[in-house]
Amino acid sequence: MSSQIMKVEDLGKKQMNRVEVKKAGFEAISRSQRRLICNLQSTKKSVGKTRFAFTAPKPIGYISVEIGGEEGAADEFIPAGAESFDGIQIARIHMGTPEYPDPANFNTGTKEGAKDYDAAVSAAVQNVAEPAYAAFYAAYEASLANMRTTVIDTGTDLYQLARLANFGRLEKIPQLAYAQVKREFAKMVDDAFKQPCHNLITIHHMKDRGSVNSAGKWEQTGNYEMDGCMTVLDKVQANIEFWRTDLEEENPETGMKVDFACQIIDSRHSPLAMGKKFSTLEITFADVAMSIIRGSKRSDWE
């Protein structure tokens, strides 16, 4: 027994062979970088997600998959008297209109004919979805290489585009087939992690989880979840939910008849940050980031 105890103690006193350890790929672990890879989500639009993203460190590479999402929200960040702002660069991802096949050219009354027609429709959709998906990745890679922050607006729309590019449709896709798309989204977040001090913001809608009632029909439950590739939630450092409250009278502090709010739902950096809420005037990237990455200061997020 004593010899076994001595062996354990000896192990605790082992000297590190730094050459061997380095050769095997090890290196000293470091403190958290002053960057945040996060997801923003909400059940409704016009709750401040895009505006929040524009408060992140510049330059920002804003990839618009939901066309028009930046209009209005961006104006506040364009200098007075100017029509544009170089600190926020936008790339618009647009999928063209498919040239659908004529069903008259298929014997859709038969099982094989209907199958061939469905395949032709999927191919037509893929023909326009694939170039748009490739355009997204070209913009994404350029943003990671050149910007301080990348914004994807929205991840919900990107997930739809990914499925259309991969399968030519959104429904009746075998669950096993989703593995490829999930790997693509996981790598997308991993690529952001590889860029030192780079912020990544994905913006998502939320959807009712729903359930099938006793009559076999789908019905709403009032419980919501992110509408998109759930792999993103597994990979990001923080998930932040946004909402607004409509008021009968103006808030004397803001002059608006609406109050905005957001809450840190989860955080890998700090359990103390989880559940923390922010109200209208304090909803900025810096305020939220300082709460999540403790010890950071406002100048780290400028």
Residue 6: inside a domain: no
Residue 187: inside a domain: yes
- Torsion angle (degrees, nearest 10) of CA 267, 270, 272, 276: -40
CA distances from 240 to 81, 202, 236, 288, 295 (A): 33, 10, 11, 9, 20
- The yes-or-no verdict on residue 9 having pLDDT over 70 is no
Residue 15: inside a domain: no
Q: Check residue 127 and give its pLDDT.
A: 95
Which amino acid makes up residue 128? V
The structural domain count of the chain equals 1
Residue 29: inside a domain: no
Question: How many other C-beta atoms are found inside a 10 Å radius of the C-beta of residue 274?
Answer: 17
Q: Check residue 122 and give its pLDDT.
A: 92
SS3 192: helix
- The yes-or-no verdict on residue 214 having pLDDT over 80 is no
Phi, psi for 49 (deg, rounded to 5): -65, -50
151-163 pLDDT tens trace: 999 999 999 999 9
Return the ∠ at Cα 254 (arms to 246 and 86), rounded to 5°: 100
Average pLDDT, rounded, for the chain: 91
Phi, psi for 243 (deg, rounded to 5): -155, 175
Band (174; pLDDT cuts 50, 70, 90): confident
| Dihedral sign (CA 192, 197, 198, 199) | positive
Residue 216: inside a domain: yes
Band (227; pLDDT cuts 50, 70, 90): very high
Q: Quick one: how many helices (H) and strands (E) in the chain?
A: 8, 11
User: What is the mean pLDDT of the segment spanning 50-59?
Assistant: 97
User: What is the mean pLDDT of the segment spanning 51-68?
Assistant: 95
CATH number of the domain within which 289 lies: 3.40.50.300
Q: What DSSP string describes 265-283?
A: EEESS-TTTTT-EEEGGG-
Q: Check residue 7 and give its pLDDT.
A: 56
Q: Partners of 208 in the beta sheet?
A: 224
Residue 247: inside a domain: yes
Q: Check residue 70 and give its pLDDT.
A: 87
Domain coverage including residue 180: 36-95+130-301
Q: Is 40 exposed, middle or buried (0-12, 13-18, 19+ CB in 10 A)?
A: buried
CB-based contact 247:259 (threshold 8 Å): yes
SS3 119: helix
User: What is the mean pLDDT of the segment spanning 155-179?
Assistant: 91
pTM: 0.89
Residue where the block lists tokens 């979805």: 129
Residue 184: inside a domain: yes
CA gap 250, 262 in Å, rounded: 20
Pairing of strands 199-208, 258-267: unpaired
Q: Check residue 31 and give its pLDDT.
A: 87
Residue 19: inside a domain: no
Q: Check residue 4 and give its pLDDT.
A: 52
User: What is the mean pLDDT of the segment spanning 72-97?
Assistant: 94
